[in-house]
Structure 1
Amino acid sequence: MAESKVLEAEAKATPSRSNRVSTSSRGGRYFLRVLLNHVPGKTSFEDLRTVDGVLCDSFHEVVERLGLIEADNMLDESLIESTQLAMPASLRRLFATILVFCEPGDVRDLWDRHLEAMSDDYRRSHTCSKAVEQMVLLDIRDMLQSMGKDIALFPLTNIDETYDTTRGEAREVTEESTIEVDAHDIALASSLNHEQRLAYDEILTTVDAGDGGVFFVDGPGGMGKTFLYRALLAKFRGEGKIEVATTTSGVAASIMPGGRTSHLRFKIPLSIEDGASCSFTKQSGMAKLLRMASLILWDEASMTKRQAIEALENSMQDIMGRRHQPFGGETVVFGGDFWKVLPVVKKGSQGQIIDATMRRSYLCKGMRQLRLITNMRVHNDPWFADYLLRVGNGTKETDEEGSIRLPQDICVPPTGDGVDLEKLIDHVFPALDHNMSDPNYMTSRAILSTKNDNIDKINTRMIERFQGEEKIYHSFDSAKDDPHGNYAPEFLNNLTPKDCLRMPSN
């Protein structure tokens, strides 16, 4: 589903004016406006009210059927679709997310419709329907608590605490202590190179000593940082210890065993200033998890603002009761690559962006630097590995305009005849027509760009090449704190990302 956008209205930025924009509170006129902006070629009001040959009773019904406004049936369809792909635990998390962020109109009906799918794993080992329902409720209660919500706020079945088998253990601790260690990850320690082994042993010694320490694993992409992290996590988790693995980005978190984004895991405020703290208390499950952790890992820390890292330290000093020790005396390992994207500072100057990096934090001086300089990803091509180092370090020669010339053998030469993009697609996706249904083929290659406009152009052309009927999804865009309807829906629809997502049916 296309991502929705919410525009935050700035205080005193927009003067009041005559309201000529129809809003949803105006009923039929608003839904007619939505239709006229999305459905072309209609010749009459009756034609506008016709969907797939069926005449609807109202414009409201039409926009609901076409998916142009948010409705409870869409949440229902989302859960139905997820049932075909996701495990019951993932369905329970999706249900909790819907309760918190989507404000369904009939929570009880949604619960009754999807309880069976959400409880499938519990029903295999329990025959009592009440016990099964209670276990699902307890799971969802814990998920809601991690999002800062109380299950009592929602019209669901009352919880019977006698079915709680966690004996009061915090959900965060239970989740971390039950992470299974992959046998492949256990064997990684024996394959570490010299630099990785030095870092591994130093971190291991610090954790075993229990005195705490702060490290920064510094290395460009391909140097084996993730390999090192997985070896460390497997070592400690294999010994029954609790580790907390986080990254700045969701993509990196997905390849880290038990990984979460740092903002989600540590409850770091999105809008953060100097001196801030994380949004968890001393009595919370998060605080208990951090006190029990042998190692806290934060990858891609170079991409986050220093204030976020300092907020974690402030909170850890508070919950550990050790105000004069970095991170309350815990062992914390940061990792990153300062060649990559630096922290995003809205409309910030170069100086402001640099000031936001962790290199400008008072914590940086006390971090032990662990350097990885051997490129494991292209170890069979030492020339290219050296080339990447020279580019990243700024020592590669440039032309008179300061540009770096790429080697011809890694370029698709431009011809200027309007088909350069087609040639690039053919080069990266050879024989696309015959392989578009092969998931291994599609996920093993990608075209990257530094600009969203180029990405949109490439995606549009790729989708046009796919066979089958095109499916179109629309987002639901709204402006916060805009009771007078100053922001027309079509204006919000045209903000990036666009409200229309086109996908091939296969």
Structure 2
Amino acid sequence: MWRIYDFDLSKNYPPVQQPQLHLSDMHMVTYHKWDKIEWVVKRPGANESMLTAYFDYNRLHEEAREILYHDFPEHYTWESNGKFWKTRKNVVYQVGRLISAHPAEGERYFLWVLLNHVAGATSYRDLRTIDGVLLPSFCEAAERQGLIEEDNTLDECLTENSLFHMPSSLHRLFMTILVFCEPNDVFGLWTKHLDAMSEDYICKNPNPSLVEQMVLIDIRNMLQSMGKDIRSFPLPGIDDSYDDTSGIPREIFEEASIDQNPKDVGLSNSLNDEQRVAYEEIMSKVDTEQGGLFFVDGPGGTGKTFLYRVLLETLRSQNKLAVATATPGVAASIMPGGRTTHSHFKIPLTLEDDSCCSFTKQSGTAKLLQQVSLIIWDEASMAKRQAMETLDNSLPDIMGRQDLPFGGKTVFFGGNFRQVLPVVQKGSKAHTVDAPLRWSYLWESMRHLKLVRNMRTQSDPWFAEYLLRIGGGTEEGNGDGYVCLPDDICVSYSGDSKKDLDRLIECIFPNLNANMTNKNYIASREILSTRNAWVDNINMKMIGMFQGGEMVYHSFDSAIDDLHNYYPSEFLNTLTPNGLPPHLLKLKIGCPIILLRNIDLANGLCNGIRLVVRDFQRNSIDAEIVLGLHAEKRVFLPRIPLCPSDDEMFPLQFKRK
């Protein structure tokens, strides 16, 4: 008995259908050695199959064109005698599947990819027709649809964006590709796109060698702000004679080079009484170099960030160094020169008791901390107590003052102890309570701490005070312990989920069509939900309401070291672990997006920052930052590989690009 693959793409017929196979026309034909191949292939009905019947049904019935091939059995049933599909009458849930194809199988695999993602095809030619152009192969059709990764994806990404944007933006994009996108040919990308990245320097400097050095120095500085060394990439070397910062530690140079915001000048005159008390206490310790520990506690809207900005502006105007950090990236991005505490102090991601920061005594970070006059740590109440202990263990060593907390430095913590405790995966209630910074730790471990008075809410109306009463347990509840929310902040519920969702959207986003171009309108409101699945449903409905141009991106999913294809991409596409975007990302121009990881904190690209989509390319998104100090800055977001955290319960190493 012999087996052959009957899959001739030059002809418009599928292989012979075997009834016992599951919803697939891509399989082996079995025949005896004494049978002639022509008889097997040309026998009656050999050119009719489930797939060709699917094509025929799509041609004749418009309602079927929204259904993918592998979902067809859920709505239709297959009649093997007549070889046709008919509407399913019995409400019986059926699951169809395409037999997996390995990437090594060539066109058979690419046809499998297209059938898994493209609905409504009416023929093989239709599957290969993209934007009205008939492509010669399923491989090219899948590439043009963005369903498989091309070999030159990063090259195309740089080429697309070099046509429309400034060289400085290309420098940041090139740096992002180096750090996050795992390029195979770094020097090839550099050589091909050097002219586009150096256009602004060429106008002023005709010397090609000097221009190349200036571009390299720009990229090196960006890499250093990410904690990376340009020497770890196969790029041309930098001549130190062209470098103005040679001999100055990069960390000190960056802090000294932070631009002063003209809006912050004179802010000290606008401090209220409580803020002024804190300001004068802290400045007295800085001016006398006595050192001290402070903590300001207050809910959102009490002016903590305003106080930080006044302190930073005062010290930097005196040519003193001040470090602004925060636990989350979003909080850091709204302070001038803000960085996350983990990146600035080299705090280990895995924290244990008696941990130390990873910088050495001779490093640039240590030299910066020796010269700094004030350390600001915002959202300290969100950090684990071991994070503070780690910095407290390291500073006395580099300062040579073991008798004082934090080596005698002036440290200013800020936060809000009314916030919800951070989630500890697989942790008990005791683990959750023990994770964050607590008052007990402050008093026991930092006996020199001075508490700045609890600042009262100024910018929020009665609603903030109402929430404080709930958090403090002073709001009156019913007999079951529940608190009744005021009618002014509630949307009525009728039981019809579709109408109720429409009413909620209209309440939060009134007159959406008229305000789509207003980025302040988009960024100042949001709908919160308790489940990711509900968030995805609301997002899809909201995006459908936008009227701008549309783009659908598909992720490239793979299982690391899966040589035998145990985890096909169709299975990986169904996974959406915490912290990763979905496999299918549908966006429109003008819609808001949120970044899911820290990319370039110095330029505002941090985890949680909000942006608005301004344009699309096949391999990148052109977006505008809408909040914080970097508002109105245009940035490129290329495809970046992401992996779930180690705590995720997966039997495989999963990567989504």
Task: Write out per-residue CA displacement over residues 345-398 of structure 1, whole angstroms, 9 at most, x where no aligned residue.
Answer: 2121221011111116464554322233321212xx4x4343232122222222
Task: Write out per-residue CA displacement over residues 149-183 of structure 1, whole angstroms, 9 at most, x where no aligned residue.
Answer: 44334332232221111122122222211112223
Structure-2 residue corresponding to 1:373? 455
Which letter maps to 1:292?
Q
1:456 paired to 2:553 = no
Q: Would you say how many aligned residue pairs link Structure 1 and Structure 2? A: 484
Q: 5 Å matches for 1:293-442?
A: 293-359=372-438, 361=441, 363-378=445-460, 381=461, 383-418=462-497, 419-442=499-522
Change (3 A) 1:428 1:279: same
Q: 5 Å matches for 1:5-404?
A: 31-42=110-121, 47-56=126-135, 58-71=137-150, 73-79=152-158, 88-119=167-198, 122-123=201-202, 125-147=204-226, 149-359=228-438, 361=441, 363-378=445-460, 381=461, 383-404=462-483
**Whole-Å separation in 1 of the counterparts to 2:108 and 2:398:** 55
Change (3 A) 1:249 1:149: closer
Q: CA deviation at 1:503?
A: 0.9
Structure-2 residue corresponding to 1:5? none
Residues 346 and 358 in structure 2, CA contact (< 8 A), matched pair in contact too: yes
Residues 302 and 343 in structure 1, CA contact (< 8 A), matched pair in contact too: no
Q: Percent identity at matched positions? A: 57
Which letter maps to 2:454?
L
Point out the more displaced range, 315-324 or 233-242.
315-324
Q: CA deviation at 1:103?
A: 1.6
**Whole-Å separation in 1 of the counterparts to 2:218 and 2:414:** 33
Unaligned runs of 5+ in 2: 1-98, 591-657
**Whole-Å separation in 2 of the counterparts to 1:444 and 1:262:** 27
Q: CA deviation at 1:86?
A: 7.1
Task: Write out per-residue CA displacement over residues 309-332 of structure 1, whole angstroms, 9 at most, x where no aligned residue.
Answer: 222223323333333432222212
Structure-2 residue corresponding to 1:447? 527
Task: Write out per-residue CA displacement over residues 261-319 of structure 1, whole angstroms, 9 at most, x where no aligned residue.
Answer: 22222233323322222333223322222222111111112112222222222332333
Question: TM-score by structure 2 length?
Answer: 0.67
**Whole-Å separation in 2 of the counterparts to 1:328 and 1:201:** 22
**Whole-Å separation in 2 of the counterparts to 1:312 and 1:71:** 45
Q: CA deviation at 1:87?
A: 6.2
Structure-2 residue corresponding to 1:4? none
Give the secondary-structure state (helix, strand or coil) at the position aligned to 2:247: coil
Over aligned residues, Cα RMSD in angstroms? 2.9
Q: Select which of 485, 496, 501 maps to 2:585.
A: 501
Change (3 A) 1:109 1:238: same
Q: Select which of 538, 544, 547 maps to 1:467.
A: 547
Q: CA deviation at 1:67?
A: 2.1
Q: CA deviation at 1:335?
A: 1.1
Question: TM-score by structure 1 length?
Answer: 0.86
**Whole-Å separation in 1 of the counterparts to 2:165 and 2:288:** 42
Q: CA deviation at 1:60?
A: 4.2
Change (3 A) 1:82 1:446: farther
Change (3 A) 1:387 1:239: same
Pair member with larger Rg:
2
Which letter maps to 2:583?
D
Which letter maps to 2:459?
R
Task: Write out per-residue CA displacement over residues 236-258 of structure 1, whole angstroms, 9 at most, x where no aligned residue.
Answer: 11111111111122222221111
**Whole-Å separation in 1 of the counterparts to 2:563 and 2:405:** 47
Residues 304 and 342 in structure 1, CA contact (< 8 A), matched pair in contact too: no
**Whole-Å separation in 1 of the counterparts to 2:575 and 2:451:** 42
Point out the more displaced range, 194-203 or 82-91.
82-91
**Whole-Å separation in 2 of the counterparts to 1:168 and 1:231:** 31
Which letter maps to 1:328?
G
Identify, as 1 or 2, the structure richer in helix. 1
**Whole-Å separation in 1 of the counterparts to 2:544 and 2:167:** 35
Change (3 A) 1:100 1:23: farther
Give the secondary-structure state (helix, strand or coil) at the position aligned to 1:358: coil
Change (3 A) 1:64 1:429: same
Which letter maps to 1:325?
L
Q: CA deviation at 1:93?
A: 3.3
**Whole-Å separation in 2 of the counterparts to 1:487 and 1:349:** 33
Q: CA deviation at 1:78?
A: 4.2
Point out the more displaced range, 85-94 or 205-214.
85-94
Change (3 A) 1:41 1:375: same
Q: CA deviation at 1:99?
A: 0.9
Point out the more displaced range, 290-299 or 25-34.
25-34
Change (3 A) 1:400 1:56: farther
**Whole-Å separation in 2 of the counterparts to 1:325 and 1:246:** 22
Residues 171 and 197 in structure 2, CA contact (< 8 A), matched pair in contact too: yes
Residues 172 and 219 in structure 2, CA contact (< 8 A), matched pair in contact too: yes
Q: CA deviation at 1:222?
A: 1.0
Task: Write out per-residue CA displacement over residues 66-124 of structure 1, whole angstroms, 9 at most, x where no aligned residue.
Answer: 22334464434544566688765554233222112212133234224443454455456
Which letter maps to 1:369?
L
**Whole-Å separation in 2 of the counterparts to 1:86 and 1:228:** 37
Unaligned runs of 5+ in 1: 1-19
Point out the more displaced range, 444-453 or 281-290.
444-453
Change (3 A) 1:279 1:32: farther
Residues 398 and 404 in structure 1, CA contact (< 8 A), matched pair in contact too: yes
Structure 1 runs (4+) deviating above 6 angstroms are 84-87
**Whole-Å separation in 1 of the counterparts to 2:488 and 2:242:** 64
Residues 96 and 140 in structure 1, CA contact (< 8 A), matched pair in contact too: yes
Q: CA deviation at 1:486?
A: 4.1
Change (3 A) 1:358 1:179: same
